[in-house]
Chains A and B, each alone.
Chain A
């Protein structure tokens, strides 16, 4: 066990799996860096430095810098996965799924089903998501609801360094295609991480804290925000359970339902756009399966229905804040109280 950043945790997971399994390869734009250039090799290690050090250890045959041809190299990862390799392809920013969507959505996701169970496609697509870095409308989106929508893809969104390593190891060993989301504002966040390889199973949520009043489900970077909000609310006497689903496909709906059955209140915090997002999806599951347990209307905390703005003041107003979460929790507590009054009047 030692303290590691998310960047280091991810690097370690990939390094250990590449040592263990010679069929694991990495491909993407500047994942090593310096390809064909006269200066430093391994100059970048990917745009966030996550794969730095892997090319020197495993060589350019297993760490492939690619031309800027996402359709070709993401599609090649899918084809290689179907024929015996375990590629980890980096789609630099998830916003760029727009240029290679077919290879992910119509090819990679569907081989196993369309081919009657004959294909196995162990492929990981690592990708950056999220706002907060002044990267504007084409480099800040979440998009994970889109991938969650498509049957055949597994969708992983780690919220800490511990999760990052365990989920990445599982993603590489998993025989299904995995879209692995990394928040670009979180790489330097640190935590205790075991030095040896370990896996975290998909479809198992993590309760970061338990409290009797409100269930707060949060995704990715929002898990940290929700924990901060819960700390502050505890001082006001409101006790929150915070649930990090860790994977949105598969989704551990049982844990969420069980928690809402205890607390009777649900707030879902999602950095993705509000329409057809994870917050809506989880709200629908609760409305369907635990409606009778609800003491208050469900509350979703999301950005507004607009693209991500550039200007810092606008972007800060766009991203859900700790204060937004606190306010929503207070509001479900408020309407919860009035619901109890109504019950009493019955």
Chain B
């Protein structure tokens, strides 16, 4: 069974704005899926559709084979959601908030208190746990939201920009936690984010969405193949033969675009044969960021 499935999913808002256009997509269990796209692409709308907060205009979606249109409560029972707008109560402390949400999920306070404390510890909120939320900073609230989404041991996590307000250290900590949850507990993660570098570290697969349309989806390697990405080979060496058509970018620094890693030994051999000294060789593959820009600009050209 697929953890999350979208079939030809579309949403037109009452004003006539089509925010999601016929997206078909599926997530395996334990996958960390990075849902990427510029502002207004339709990421939040997709998360809301998957949770039954919005009714699709066309197509359907399922979370562990439950349709959120007909049984939203069942979807909610197995999923944890973090969005920018899902806030908690200012007049309760961090710990009290977690215990309250656990109780709504039918977990008794004696049971949830232990889990709440361990989540608070993992998210570095231990000192703040007995303080009212009104004294929390944005980043603390955001981390508490993640704890709230995890308090009932969900099978799927929907995270809409969970690290956007976090400092680099907390963001890294949260990302590591998400990665471990997927690896050790088999939780499926649907992650909407703009932070491509973090996404590349933790996601196993990606989907790129722009103006409601899913441009591509797949693993990093699959995406690289899609954009016919070239590898950039950087070499620091002396006496590089001119026939190799390297671009000189600094003192003893050279760069060339190649199609495959198989070309590297040949190039290195040629430099050595012409008595060059090699100090460093590195092959740079396109990053997620490179792919993102390549694809989103491609799409723009297609539209023209």
Do the two shown chains form a genuine complex with each other? no
